[in-house]
Structure 1
């Protein structure tokens, strides 16, 4: 089982990447192969809807290929101005229902404020449903993420740590239980 994680942060000290690492490790413990597509190392150009996709850099083809091959996903974003990061939105603009339809997605948000990343998670949920994916109902958020982590990468809040671990475990269980692809009957 292949899971692709896409953290939507370019920060070198990214708490979003740290949170994704917790979810990914829990999924690996369940037997999944988890790869992180790091937009810091493999940046994508700004999506412009061009007809000739071959004119995009190789990273776009690689990203789309990895998205198509994945059985499930972990999408995470810091909350920027009440929504998802521009880099994650841009990455998701390159893909469509062809890559996501019927696949399970774990959603995760981080925020500098005490309220957490509720708007970010709602936006990610809407995007995933628009692309016919199955977002998991649990969507944890790490509030005040700049001070939420221990030096070893775990969360100071043990209950929140467990929620992130449970998210990775649940993603693997749903893929195992319902298969990698659960197509939606659009013929009504």
Structure 2
């Protein structure tokens, strides 16, 4: 079972990347193979609705192929102005239902504020459903993410650490139990 984890941040010291890494590590420990895509390391152009998609740079084709070949996904985003990051929205604009249909998706958010990334997670949930994916019901959020992590990359809040780890395990369990994908339609 192959999982692609996408960190929707351009920040090289991203707390979203750290949160996604916790979920991904738990998925690996539960038996999955996983790959991390940190959007800050990818050179995706702005999505511009080209009629000839072959003219997009190689990074776009690699990104699409990785998502298409994944059995499940982990999507993480910081909360920017009450929604997901622009780079994650842009990356998701390059893919569609043919890449996501029937796949299970674990969602995680981070925010600088005390309320967490609730709006971001709700928006990601809607996007996944519109692309015929199956977002998991548990959507943990890391509030005050700038001060939430220890130097080793784990969370100071042990209960929140356990929730993120549980999300990674749950993704593998649900994919295993349901045969990795559920046909839509």
Task: Give me the TM-score of the superposition, normalised by structure 2.
Answer: 0.99
Deviation, structure 1 residue 116? 0.2
In structure 2, list runs of 5 or more residues that go unmatched: none
Give 1:3 shift: 0.2
Q: Secondary structure at the match of 2:38?
A: coil
Q: 1:34 Cα shift?
A: 0.5
Partner residue in 2 for 1:17: 17
Query: Which aligned pairs between 1:1-188 and structure 2 lie closer than 5 A?
Result: 1-185=1-185
DSSP 3-state at the match of 1:172: helix
The 3-state SS of whatever aligns with 1:81 is coil
Provide the rounded CA distance (Å) in 2 between the counterparts of 1:113 and 1:151: 20
The alignment of Structure 1 onto Structure 2 pairs a total of residues equal to 185
d(CA) in 1 for partners of 2:63 and 2:140?
A: 25
Please, which moves more after superposition, 138-147 or 37-46?
A: 37-46
Alpha-carbon distance, 1:42 to partner: 1.6
SS in 1 for 2:166: helix
Q: Which runs of structure 1 show a deviation greater than 3 angstroms over 4 or more consecutive aligned residues?
A: none
Helix, strand or coil for the counterpart of 2:40? coil
Local SS of the residue matching 1:40? helix
TM-score norm. by structure 1 comes to: 0.97
Q: What is the CA–CA distance in structure 1 between the aligned matches of 2:116 and 2:146, rounded to whole Å? A: 12
